[in-house]
Chain A
Amino acid sequence: MKFKKIFSTAMAVTLAGTLLAACGNNNNNAEPSGSASASTGSGTGSKQELVMNYRADPPALDVSLADSAASFTILGAISEGLYRLDKDSNPQPALAAEMPVISEDGLTYTIKLRDGLVWADGSPLTAKDFVYSYQRSLDPATKANYAFILTWLKGGQAVQDAKTPEELKAANENLGVKALDETTLEIKLEQPMAFFTGQLAFLNYYPQKEEFVAAQGKASGADADKVLGAGPFVLTKWDHEQQLVLEKNPKYWDAANVKLEKVTLNIVKDTATGLNLYESKKTDLTDIKGDQMKEYEGKPDLYRKNELVTGYLNFQQTKVPAFANIKIRQAMSMAIDREGLVNTVLKNGSVASTGYVPNGNSDGNGAEFRKIVGDTEVAFDAAKAKTLLAEGLAEEGITSLPALTVMGDDTETGKKLLEFLVSQWKTNLGVSVGAEPLPHATRVEKETSKNYTIVSSLWGADYNDPMTWLDMYVTDGPFNTQDWKNEKYTDLIHAAQKELDTKVRAEKMHEAEKILLDEAAIYPMFFRSSPYLVRENVQGIILPPYGPDFELKWTSIK
């Protein structure tokens, strides 16, 4: 594999997309603050203070080691990359003074940093801090799960594969990141990437201060005093599993435009209590579930966050040879009413899928993938499904399908989803399928070890490009757990990975997705959405498409 993918499901499952449902009251214009005249709409304070519920305690606030959405989110508030994504997910200069100068061949990025940048402790931040950060993440001794994103740098893979200190030193010298001077950074890539400037806004490309990180040793990022950033806020309190407090960083280069003085995040894992806290005005923001959303339908504080997450089915072809037959896969897929699924089971704003790459995902060539490619999925058609099944069974020389079980997560929604699928196959196709809800860790283990017949799974984008979705299904790829084999598809993906022309590359990926879904190799069911309640006087908060759960830099209390 060209890209070693080590992903966290926490991320995959929480990546967010605001592109579709940008809520009217959540614009990006930081209101003139005037804290004296701030409203008292919330019981949580009339000043520039925000209290919010957050569902998870971040595991470690270390730039190299972070692998969960919670860590990305908090680090995004207390630190910063060269760029920061605005409400439309476009990169804006952050620690960088301007947009990068990109060479003709798209391989070399020269980036000027702002003058006089400092860390939150007042020490100077220079281009060297980026070089150190990338080297540390790639160093095999760091064991960074997201190191693969840095192997995009020229020579990155060699650093990660270094076996001895000498090899590591040599590889680091050849690594495609150089501090040309204190404020100029040069980054070289293995191959051109249309989305790379946006990627520089992500945690993996944040700087780290060597002295500070080295002093923390193994405890780096374990507590509030063991993390150092250069972002809009500083972490002043971290009571694990209870509360995090962020306060404005007066040394931040853009402190004048940061309105919030204090943000309190209470770790609340029960959505019912979260809603109670919201309704009794103890918090300004909470995540809710589908059935709680109904009550808030049409109200101005409901915020629907459309995520870059697709829910889909895999049919394992080695355990069930019948699934190698394209007609049988199509029949199993066609028998499921996706509209019914999102409207009667999920009810949380998720929409029926029209492909694998979700709405809002870029095509790697400046457009939105779904808008270009359109609907590539088989349509719900019970009658046609029955015909196809009969034909498929005849082709395979069998009279009925073997015993089938659909495996999925044992969450409330996960279980309802399985019940729905079982009833759809029974009613529309006359096929009996058992349901097997499992704890998340067990489901994933059985899925990756190919120990299932049908699995209901979720995948989230790790970067905003179709490749994060499509390279999973190359023949014999590690994520191709259903053992689907298609040479043409594999060739297209490999060609796209090497393609320098972004337009041609995008076209190859369009074609690949069409093959994937024409063959019903997988069956996407829905593009996920998550509902939130955000107090109306909270202005300019962004719930971004993927990566962090929220962006607070431009938030203010009206």
Chain B
Amino acid sequence: MLKYVLRRFVYMLITLWVIITATFFLMKLLPGNPFGEVAAKLPPENLKLLKAQYGLDKPEWQQYLQYLGNVLQGDLGVSYQFPTRSVVSVIKQSFPASLELGIESLIIAIIIGLALGIIAALKHGKWQDNTAMFIALVGIAVPSFVIAPLFSLYIGNKWGILPPGLWEGPEHRILPAVALAFGTIAILARMMRASMLEVASLDYIKTAKSKGLSTSKVVTGHMFRNAILPVVTILGPIAVGVITGTLVIEKVFVIPGLGYQFVSSITTLDYTMITGLTIFYAAILIVVMFLTDIAYGFIDPRIRMSGRR
């Protein structure tokens, strides 16, 4: 087991290194320069000076080695757009809001998504199934840039039920969390339904039923645990997606999160910010996938066994 974990860990580092390298060089291919606003009216000779100050006049491989060395020391560099802010400080400041919102929306999505999926599977082919799947279809088909402004406009402004934006009290969490959960609900519901249906046709469920167990016991004791496995697999990447922030939801609901930082860093060509945030994102993804594997082992002892061998 230890050997297995160690090997996984080395793979993790290699993956990270590949991502850092790829991001670093891909970013250099982007047109323009990272001094954006400041450079808008900069005469060429001053631009040259500025580039020299940031070491951008050196060959790319030198810049790359320098950067790699800094990353190893936990230094992701200083933003070009905001010279007084380091990438690490931006992450520290923006990630909590994204993380909190992501967790809240994930909880909502898991509860509603799984419930919809189970109901749909148990009432297979009946109106409950159709309704649940229709809801899931809407969740997939309607993008967040439609849902979020509609929520803000109607629930927030026209009906005045909840605040249309800003990140203050608990009441400010509800709209963005639900808006963000929409897509996840749809994915989880469809996945859970398919998985439940598959499990329901297996022999041991028939056995359980023939022994005279009640439907609720069959579902909770036998079906759920087996049906949830594939759902857990996709939950990892989904979780990373929602906790690292989304541009649209953050912008519409005025949330100081990481998603906005990421996108604006790309449009302003903030080199250090782009690479820094990509590394952070990749690291989280890899760690979460690792944790997912462990969670998998808990749910299904067969996987734990094969791991030990």
A-B pairs, top 8 by smallest CB distance, nearest first, are: A9-B40, A478-B43, A222-B84, A242-B256, A276-B164, A7-B41, A276-B157, A442-B32
Q: Which residue of A lies closest to B50 (CB)?
A: A143
**Which parts of B18-60 form the interface with A (CB within 8 Å)?**
31-34, 36-47, 53
Known A68-B37, A222-B85, A479-B41; judge A282-B163 contact (CB<8 A). Answer: yes
User: How far is the CB of B73 from the nearest CB of chain A, in Å?
Assistant: 18
A39 at the interface (CB under 8 A from B): no
For A6, what are the chain B residues with a Cβ–Cβ distance below 8 Å?
38, 41-43, 46
Contact partner of B85 among A4, A5, A240, CB < 8 A?
A240
Distance between Cα atoms of A6 and B160 in the complex (Å)? 46
Known A6-B42, A441-B32, A444-B39; judge A280-B85 contact (CB<8 A). Answer: no
Known A273-B254, A441-B267; judge A7-B156 contact (CB<8 A). Answer: no
9 A-B residue pairs with Cβ-Cβ distance under 8 Å, sorted by A, are A9-B37, A145-B38, A240-B94, A241-B94, A269-B251, A273-B149, A280-B163, A441-B34, A445-B32
Please tell me if the beta carbons of B37 and A273 are within 8 angstroms of each other in the complex: no
Q: Which residue of A lies closest to B36 (CB)?
A: A441
Q: Looking at the complex, which of A59-67, A504-512, A513-521 is the stretch in contact with chain B?
A: A59-67
For B45, what are the chain A residues with a Cβ–Cβ distance below 8 Å?
478
A8 at the interface (CB under 8 A from B): yes
For A441, what are the chain B residues with a Cβ–Cβ distance below 8 Å?
32-34, 36, 39, 267-269
Which interface class (under 10, 10 to 19, 20 to 34, 35 or more) fits A? Answer: 35 or more
Known A268-B254, A280-B164; judge A5-B41 contact (CB<8 A). Answer: yes
User: How far is the CB of A49 from the nearest CB of chain B, in Å?
Assistant: 15
Contact partner of A60 among B33, B84, B165, CB < 8 A?
B84
User: How far is the CB of B199 from the nearest CB of chain A, in Å?
Assistant: 44
Distance between Cα atoms of A269 and B264 in the complex (Å)? 11
Please tell me if the beta carbons of B53 and A440 are within 8 angstroms of each other in the complex: no
User: How far is the CB of A61 from the nearest CB of chain B, in Å?
Assistant: 9
Please tell me if the beta carbons of A8 and B31 are within 8 angstroms of each other in the complex: no
Which interface class (under 10, 10 to 19, 20 to 34, 35 or more) fits B? Answer: 35 or more
B261 at the interface (CB under 8 A from A): yes
For B256, what are the chain A residues with a Cβ–Cβ distance below 8 Å?
239-242, 267
For A143, what are the chain B residues with a Cβ–Cβ distance below 8 Å?
53
B260 at the interface (CB under 8 A from A): yes
Q: Which residue of B lies closest to A266 (CB)?
A: B166
B219 at the interface (CB under 8 A from A): no
Distance between Cα atoms of A9 and B42 in the complex (Å)? 10
For B83, what are the chain A residues with a Cβ–Cβ distance below 8 Å?
59-60, 65
Please tell me if the beta carbons of B165 and A273 are within 8 angstroms of each other in the complex: yes
Q: Looking at the complex, which of A93-101, A213-221, A302-310, A338-346 is the stretch in contact with chain B?
A: A213-221
Q: Contact flags (1/0) for B130-171 with A, using CB distance below 8 Å? A: 000000000000000000010011001100100111110000
For B37, what are the chain A residues with a Cβ–Cβ distance below 8 Å?
8-10, 67-68
Distance between Cα atoms of A444 and B45 in the complex (Å)? 15
Q: Which residue of B lies closest to A222 (CB)?
A: B84
Contact partner of A4 among B46, B149, B157, CB < 8 A?
B46
Distance between Cα atoms of A267 and B253 in the complex (Å)? 11
Q: Contact flags (1/0) for A258-288 with B, using CB distance below 8 Å? A: 0000000011111011011101101000000
A448 at the interface (CB under 8 A from B): yes
Distance between Cα atoms of A446 and B157 in the complex (Å)? 42
Please tell me if the beta carbons of B165 and A268 are within 8 angstroms of each other in the complex: yes
A12 at the interface (CB under 8 A from B): yes
Please tell me if the beta carbons of A445 and B31 are within 8 angstroms of each other in the complex: yes
Residue from the set B38, B149, B252, B267 with the largest chain A CB neighbour count within 10 Å: B38
Please tell me if the beta carbons of B31 and A442 are within 8 angstroms of each other in the complex: yes
Distance between Cα atoms of A552 and B149 in the complex (Å)? 31
Distance between Cα atoms of A9 and B41 in the complex (Å)? 7
Please tell me if the beta carbons of B152 and A272 are within 8 angstroms of each other in the complex: yes
Distance between Cα atoms of A446 and B33 in the complex (Å)? 10
For A218, what are the chain B residues with a Cβ–Cβ distance below 8 Å?
84
**Which parts of B68-102 form the interface with A (CB within 8 Å)?**
81-85, 90, 93-94
A1 at the interface (CB under 8 A from B): yes
Please tell me if the beta carbons of A241 and B260 are within 8 angstroms of each other in the complex: yes
Known A240-B93, A441-B36, A441-B269; judge A272-B252 contact (CB<8 A). Answer: yes
For B47, what are the chain A residues with a Cβ–Cβ distance below 8 Å?
448
Please tell me if the beta carbons of A478 and B44 are within 8 angstroms of each other in the complex: yes
For B46, what are the chain A residues with a Cβ–Cβ distance below 8 Å?
4, 6
Please tell me if the beta carbons of A280 and B156 are within 8 angstroms of each other in the complex: yes
For B53, what are the chain A residues with a Cβ–Cβ distance below 8 Å?
143
For B153, what are the chain A residues with a Cβ–Cβ distance below 8 Å?
272, 276
For A59, what are the chain B residues with a Cβ–Cβ distance below 8 Å?
81-84
A24 at the interface (CB under 8 A from B): no
For B251, what are the chain A residues with a Cβ–Cβ distance below 8 Å?
269-270, 273
Residue from the set A241, A272, A444 with the largest chain B CB neighbour count within 10 Å: A241
Known A10-B37, A222-B84; judge A273-B163 contact (CB<8 A). Answer: no
Distance between Cα atoms of A61 and B81 in the complex (Å)? 14
For B81, what are the chain A residues with a Cβ–Cβ distance below 8 Å?
59
A116 at the interface (CB under 8 A from B): no
Residue from the set A272, A276, A444 with the largest chain B CB neighbour count within 10 Å: A276
Q: Which residue of B lies closest to A279 (CB)?
A: B157
A439 at the interface (CB under 8 A from B): yes
Residue from the set B36, B46, B149, B267 with the largest chain A CB neighbour count within 10 Å: B36
Contact partner of B43 among A5, A239, A280, CB < 8 A?
A5
User: How far is the CB of A143 from the nearest CB of chain B, in Å?
Assistant: 7
For B39, what are the chain A residues with a Cβ–Cβ distance below 8 Å?
441, 444-445, 448
User: How far is the CB of B24 from the nearest CB of chain A, in Å?
Assistant: 19
For B94, what are the chain A residues with a Cβ–Cβ distance below 8 Å?
240-241
User: How far is the CB of B38 from the nearest CB of chain A, in Å?
Assistant: 5
User: How far is the CB of A87 from the nearest CB of chain B, in Å?
Assistant: 28
For A442, what are the chain B residues with a Cβ–Cβ distance below 8 Å?
31-32
Please tell me if the beta carbons of B40 and A12 are within 8 angstroms of each other in the complex: yes
For B36, what are the chain A residues with a Cβ–Cβ distance below 8 Å?
440-441, 444
For A267, what are the chain B residues with a Cβ–Cβ distance below 8 Å?
254, 256
User: How far is the CB of B256 from the nearest CB of chain A, in Å?
Assistant: 4
For A65, what are the chain B residues with a Cβ–Cβ distance below 8 Å?
83
Distance between Cα atoms of A152 and B157 in the complex (Å)? 51
User: How far is the CB of B33 from the nearest CB of chain A, in Å?
Assistant: 6
For A221, what are the chain B residues with a Cβ–Cβ distance below 8 Å?
84
Distance between Cα atoms of A266 and B44 in the complex (Å)? 36
Please tell me if the beta carbons of B31 and A277 are within 8 angstroms of each other in the complex: no
Q: Which residue of B lies closest to A226 (CB)?
A: B84
Known A239-B256, A273-B252, A282-B163; judge A219-B40 contact (CB<8 A). Answer: no
For A242, what are the chain B residues with a Cβ–Cβ distance below 8 Å?
167, 256
Q: Which residue of B lies closest to A239 (CB)?
A: B256
Please tell me if the beta carbons of A220 and B254 are within 8 angstroms of each other in the complex: no
For B40, what are the chain A residues with a Cβ–Cβ distance below 8 Å?
7-10, 12, 440, 444
